[in-house]
Structure 1
């Protein structure tokens, strides 16, 4: 799968501090994203994980950032909510980015993306006709449609049931092979399955946790996944 107009072959780095309306969000941050690899970012609510995503995405209106930030170029982003437009068909939702930018919409490519996520036969339906898992697959197809080298994932599977979540993790990992991916998650098992670099964000900085060395996506019950999951649980429970 192509990278679009810009490939990222160097690490992306964010160092510094951020505040919103004068209230500090994080400080002494030094986060490095390895190219063509999955980085999983965990941490307590309110510690600033979503702010990190917004800064990388260039969507951090109202955030004061003091530091250095690599330019990732245009990125694709997939959120916890599918954010589908209820009045648009599945196919038109996949092409939404081009529509908002006033660009030509490639219906053939959009249908190919839907086929990749197993929803080719649902192209003309409205989102309300789909299950939660199907809607999230449409969101994934829309992310693939953007064809960006850097993909930001903000807890995109957290609202799904356990089986659908595992299936979406597997599918997303397969379809984003070769991309530079930053996944924000609260789920230690998800991080242990998908992370090639795993980092916990705390008020005092970042704590890197050794990730399994096996290829992703890893089996949910693999011994190295369960060991890393246990380690993450213990570290997340420690006071900071």
Structure 2
């Protein structure tokens, strides 16, 4: 059975997916380090009190954010959080009772976590495996969720040059999310779009795309009045492009 036929046989419920997104929103794409440290303790405590499916997913994503933001600036304290994230999410991914509307988030963060494990351990083959996982998640869920393309694009834009065949996804995935958002205003929230507009502009800094890049940077800034998403980076890039 093809992926398309399989999805048609078991379609995801968009309203259920959005309900899960709301339950996960406060642990996704965290950039405030003090807030992240407090949130990590809170999410761990809640999982210990109630190891439910949603709390396990929240903890797996929280470990991902910890690894992404802290493991590369600390020599020891936060090492291993990428592996902890992958293990939590991988277990959920293979649990038959996991609600299917959670899978776009679980499968995407699972792939991203594996890429972080690869970066931390210098095992480059894990990055390749992570992109295979992304490919699967994009094929299955990108029609209904921004998450697979958003995280694949985010990982791709930070890869070293030796992964040139993977770096192309940074441009492709940001554009795909913008296109879907234009067709469906509920497709992605303000936080994701602020990061996405900045990401698009960051990948299109040449003169050919200058006007469009500046428009998207203005959108990234406007969507993020309290500097919780892409505003700071967008303001810095806008200043650079105007000089």
TM-score by length of 1: 0.35
Quick one: higher RCO (CA 8 Å, sep 6+), 1 or 2?
1
TM-score by length of 2: 0.35
